[in-house]
Structure 1
C-alpha cells in the first residue's frame, strides 16, 4: 500500500520540529485515522512528555488506549461538553412466547475440511512470549535484558537524589545480611517523579549498574494490546520473566498511563483489569519478587491509583528535580565536548539556565550550534561556539518545566493531605519562580 502523501509530509515536518506539540498531535490524529494506532500512540506520549497536562494530548491518549484494548477504531475527537455519538440499538430480543429458531449446521458440512483450512492461522502472541506459547517456555532469558555499565558517579550533580537512593534503596541491597537481620527483603519498589526530561530513566539505569543487575525498560506500548485479556497476560509475563532473570531492575516508564486511577476507568474494563494485574504482580509481601527491583517513573504521580502506593508496592517516592548547578555544568560539558568552543564562561551559562531540564540544555546547545554553523557557512570559515551564543540561545529556549510546576504547585498546596509531597512543597516554597 502506498504511503499517504500528507502523512509523509507531516512525518517530515515533525522530524524537523520535534518540539512542535500541535503539529505532532495533528500527525497522531492522522495516523489514528489511518489505522496506525501504535505509531499514533508513540507521537501522543511524546507530545505529553514535551507538554505535560496538554488536554488535547490527554484526550487523544485515552482514545488510543481504548482502541488498543477494545480492538475498535479510534473515534473522532469531541469536545468535553459535546455528547458522545449515539450507538445503534441492538436487535431486540424476541417475545417470550415466540419460539426461537435454534441454529443448525448446514447439511453436509465438512468439519474436517474446515479445520484444515484454518489450521495455519496462528493465535496472536504477546510481545514477551519467548517461543513457548502461553506462559512462555523458551530459553530467551539471556537476551531479555541488558546490564548497564553506568553508575551513579556518572550522574552529574544531583547529590541529594543520589544520597536518598543510597540510603533508602541501594544500601539495603548492598548489605543483604544486615537487611535480613532487620527483616528487609532483597527487592521492592521505588517511584521516581518530577518534571519531564530530568533524567529519571538515566537514574534507573545507574541503579541497575550499581546493583550489577539486568535492566529492562517497559513502556505502555509493551503492555497494552487490542485483544481482550492480552494486556494482563503481557504484564504477568513481564514479571515472570523478571523473576527468572533476578537480580533484575524492572523499569516501568510513564507508569501513570499504565496504573491509572481505577475510579477514572469506569468505561474501560480492560484497563481496570490491567491495573488490577499490576497491583497483584507488584505485591511483594509474599516474597515472589525477591531479587526483582521495580522502579517506575512518572510526571504525574497524582494520577496513579492510590493502591500502587501501599506497602509492598511503590511505598517509596523520590522527587527528581531539574538539574542543579553542578549537574547543569556537567550536562553542558557533555553536549559541548565534540563541538568547537572558545572563550566559554560556563558559570555564566549555568546561571542563565536555572530550572532547565536536561533535555532543555541539550536543545539549548543545539540552538547555539545552529547559530554558529549558519555564520560559518556564510563566511566559509569555522566559527567556534562562544558564551554569547549559549546565552543568546538561553533567551530563545525557555525551560519546559514551567507547565509541570504549575500543576505540581496546586497538588502541593491542596492535595498533600498525607504528606507525600512535602519535599515538593518545600522546593516550591524555596523556589517561588519555578
Structure 2
C-alpha cells in the first residue's frame, strides 16, 4: 500500500517540474510541497535502506528548490533560474556558519526543517471571527495582536507594541483550538500549527534544535504565528521527580526562544493552548503577556452554537426553540453541543429506517416517512422502496425540537464543577476573563 505514496509523490514532482520549467512558480511551489508530504509519508514505511537513502536525497533537492521558489515569490520576483532542469535545485544562498561545509549547506538543518514543514498551515481553515460564539474580549485581544499590526502598522509607534504571546486556557472543548483556526483564517500571516509530537524527537539534542528551527523559520516568514496546542506537555513544571534531561532542555530552549534576545520578534506571535494551566512551568507562564480564560459558553453563545452547527439542515425550529435548548444545556462545553447536534442530525435517518408509512411529497417524486393516519399515507418500509428502485427518492423528515429533547435526555456535560473551579482560581491568580 505504501508504494501508492511514492507514486503520488512522483506524479506531484512531474507536475511541479513541468510548471517550474514553464516559469509558473506560484503553481510549482504547492506541487513541490505536496510531493514532499507524500515522500515523507513513504519514508516512514520504506524498509530498504538504499531506496530510503535515494528518496531522502531527492527529498532534500526538492525541498531546497521549493524554498528557493518560495523566497522569490515572497520577494515578488519572476523566479529562480532552473538551470534547464528544475529537478536539480541550485544551491541556496545562505550565509556560511562555523562548522558548515564550504558550499553553504547544512544537511542537518535541511532535515529538521523538512520535518517542520508539515506544521505550516498552507490552506486557510475557513473559520471566521463571526463563527466563534461569545469570547468577545479574547477575540478583541487577538485582533489587536494579529490583524492591526499587519493592516495598520502606523498604529504601533514609539512604545506601543503589539502583544507577542497569548496563552488560551480553559476546560476541554471550549473552543481554544477553534479560536486559533479563526486567527489562521483571518490573519494575513504564515501560520505554524505544532503539537508536542512535532517537537519531541527520540534523538538526543534534536528536540531543542527543532524548537530553535521552528522559531527561526517563523522569523524568516514574518509576519508569522506559532500555535502550540497542549503546551503543558512541553512546558510542564521543571524540577519534577519524573522529568527527563531531554524534557528540561526543551523547556529551556522554549524559554530562550520566547525571550527573543538578539532577534527582532515584533512580527512573530506565539499562541498556545492548554487545559491544565497549573501544570505549566512558572517561567514559561510569565513569558505569555496575555493569559486569557476561555470559559464554558454562556446562554447566548450556546444559542448561537446550535444555529451554526445545525446550519442549513432542514428543520422546523423557531428562535424560541433555540433559546430553550440553550437554557437546557447549562454547563455544556462547545464540543458537548457539537456532539449533541451530530447525534440529532441522525434522528431523522433513524426515523426513516424505522418508518412503516410513507407519503409522496408535493413534487410528485420524492417520499418521506409519516404517521399511519396522515392522508395519502402508504404502508411500506425503506427496504421495500429501495427494492422497487425508489431508494434515491426517500427524503428524511426535517429535524424537530423533540429530536433534541430525545438526545439531550441521554447526554451529560463532560466538564465537572471541580474542573471549572481550578480554572476560575487560576484566572483570579494569573489570568483574565475571555
Band of TM-score, shorter chain: 0.5 to 0.7
> What CA distance in whole angstroms lies between the structure 1 residues aligned with 2:112 and 2:248?
30
Matches within 5 A, 1:108-127: none
Seen in structure 2, the aligned counterparts of structure 1 residues 121 and 229 have a Cα distance that, compared at 3 Å, is: farther
Seen in structure 2, the aligned counterparts of structure 1 residues 291 and 421 have a Cα distance that, compared at 3 Å, is: closer
Residue 239 of structure 1 and its aligned partner are, at CA, apart by 1.3
Q: TM-score scaled by structure 2?
A: 0.60
> What CA distance in whole angstroms lies between the structure 2 residues aligned with 1:351 and 1:423?
22
Structure-1 residue corresponding to 2:430: 420
Structure-2 residue corresponding to 1:20: none
Matches within 5 A, 1:10-409: 133-136=107-110, 144-146=120-122, 148=124, 149-166=126-143, 171=148, 174-184=151-161, 188-264=164-240, 267-310=243-286, 313-344=287-318, 345-379=321-355, 381=369, 382-402=396-416, 405-409=417-421
Residue 340 of structure 1 and its aligned partner are, at CA, apart by 3.0
> What CA distance in whole angstroms lies between the structure 2 residues aligned with 1:301 and 1:333?
31
Q: Secondary structure of 1:318's match?
A: strand
Seen in structure 2, the aligned counterparts of structure 1 residues 211 and 285 have a Cα distance that, compared at 3 Å, is: farther
Seen in structure 2, the aligned counterparts of structure 1 residues 168 and 218 have a Cα distance that, compared at 3 Å, is: closer
Seen in structure 2, the aligned counterparts of structure 1 residues 122 and 233 have a Cα distance that, compared at 3 Å, is: farther
> What CA distance in whole angstroms lies between the structure 2 residues aligned with 1:147 and 1:256?
27
Whether contact under 8 Å (1:343, 1:387) holds in the other structure is: yes
> What CA distance in whole angstroms lies between the structure 1 residues aligned with 2:117 and 2:231?
25
267-276 or 156-165, larger mean C-alpha shift: 156-165
CA distances 1:66-113 after superposition (whole Å, capped 9, x unpaired): xxxxxxxxxxxxxxxxxxxxxxxxxxxxxxxxxxxxxxxxxxxxxxxx
Q: TM-score scaled by structure 1?
A: 0.60
Q: Secondary structure of 1:339's match?
A: coil
CA distances 1:186-228 after superposition (whole Å, capped 9, x unpaired): 5611111111112112212322343311212101111111111
Alignment: residue pair count: 299
Whether contact under 8 Å (2:163, 2:290) holds in the other structure is: no
Whether contact under 8 Å (1:191, 1:317) holds in the other structure is: yes
Whether contact under 8 Å (1:223, 1:235) holds in the other structure is: yes
Superposed CA RMSD in Å reads: 3.5
> What CA distance in whole angstroms lies between the structure 2 residues aligned with 1:257 and 1:137?
24
> What CA distance in whole angstroms lies between the structure 1 residues aligned with 2:232 and 2:240?
12
Whether contact under 8 Å (2:291, 2:431) holds in the other structure is: no
Residue 320 of structure 1 and its aligned partner are, at CA, apart by 0.9
Seen in structure 2, the aligned counterparts of structure 1 residues 170 and 182 have a Cα distance that, compared at 3 Å, is: farther
Seen in structure 2, the aligned counterparts of structure 1 residues 268 and 395 have a Cα distance that, compared at 3 Å, is: same
> What CA distance in whole angstroms lies between the structure 1 residues aligned with 2:269 and 2:339?
33
Residue 119 of structure 1 and its aligned partner are, at CA, apart by 9.5
Seen in structure 2, the aligned counterparts of structure 1 residues 410 and 299 have a Cα distance that, compared at 3 Å, is: closer
Whether contact under 8 Å (1:265, 1:271) holds in the other structure is: no
Seen in structure 2, the aligned counterparts of structure 1 residues 326 and 179 have a Cα distance that, compared at 3 Å, is: same
Q: Secondary structure of 2:108's match?
A: coil
> What CA distance in whole angstroms lies between the structure 2 residues aligned with 1:154 and 1:399?
22
Higher-Rg member (1/2): 2
CA distances 1:258-295 after superposition (whole Å, capped 9, x unpaired): 11111225541011111111111111354432311110
CA distances 1:387-424 after superposition (whole Å, capped 9, x unpaired): 1221232232111122xx413414655x67x8314649
> What CA distance in whole angstroms lies between the structure 2 residues aligned with 1:267 and 1:211?
37
